[in-house]
Amino acid sequence: MPRLPQYVPLIAAIFASHYVAGEEQFEFEREELTNSAQALGVQLPKNLGDVIYSFRYRKDLPAEILSTAPQGKEWIIEPAGRSKYRFRLVLINRIVPAEALIPIKIPDATPEIISAYALNDEQALLAKVRYNRLIDLFLGIVAYPLQSHLRTSVRGMGQIEVDELYVGVGKNGQQFVIPIQAKGGSDQLSVVQTKQDLACCREKFPALACRCISAQFMAGDIIALFELALDDGSVGIVEERHYRLVPRDQLTAEDLKAYSQR
């Protein structure tokens, strides 16, 4: 696990060295973490990039940074080139599962040995999505896993990582590229990562229609899937479905009747 107490003063120092009241964005370089660690007398992390990654995707920024954002806005960290990043003020936008949405029961096709040995929440989630063909089911197309943890670079952003990438084809022959962001446990779905995934697909697969998916584990072994898209520069939800993977004997005749009437 990241040593977050070590990371907090480093990212706070970077912010304080650049922030001017009233500004809504500014850039910094990853190497500035080295200078901040020396100035603060803090042990330098072996993986500098993990400091940035933690606050971009996993954890809230320190309180001293959050307190500078006006009501209704928040600071995000986005890529700005090779080893460069940008603090930017944006409207608050949370992609969280709707608690009232009724989950759809699906017979669980995950091999038991996969469930037994999956190493972390994210990998377990991606495996369950893959083995149960949830992307096909959710989007109504035939989809094929192409690559996991794709690390590549995008113009104007620098290096990024896509959790998993699918390609697919629809009933009329249209072809798709489908980047998937997966989050388990207490990790939050990231609109920054969604924008990166979309930019990557536009650059690497310009002939394919991009359908951006986010997957989240919920309580009760429910998997929430979102299709996300950009609308006037902001990430919005196109569709959301919840799936509960169950043994075959837990899918009752009443369930099937209810599904046929929806």
Q: What is the pLDDT of residues 226-248, one digit of tens each?
A: 999 988 777 889 999 999 999 99
Q: Give the global pTM.
A: 0.80
Write down the pLDDT at residue 184. 80
Write down the pLDDT at residue 158. 81
For tokens 């500004």, the residue is 23
Burial class (CB in 10 A: 0-12, 13-18, 19+), 232: exposed
> Rounded distance, CA 227 to CA 225, Å?
7
Strand (E) or helix (H) holding 121: helix 121-131
The answer for residues whose C-beta is within 8 angstroms of residue 92's C-beta and 6 or more apart is 72, 73, 74
Write down the pLDDT at residue 246. 94
Q: What is the pLDDT of residues 92-121, one digit of tens each?
A: 777 889 989 999 999 999 999 998 888 778
Burial class (CB in 10 A: 0-12, 13-18, 19+), 236: middle
Q: Which residues of the chain have pLDDT under 70?
A: 1-4, 185-186
Write down the pLDDT at residue 65. 95
Cα 172 to Cα 141, 175, 176, 179: the distances in Å are 10, 9, 12, 21
Write down the pLDDT at residue 2. 46
Give the mean pLDDT of the chain: 89
Tokens of 40: 């603060």
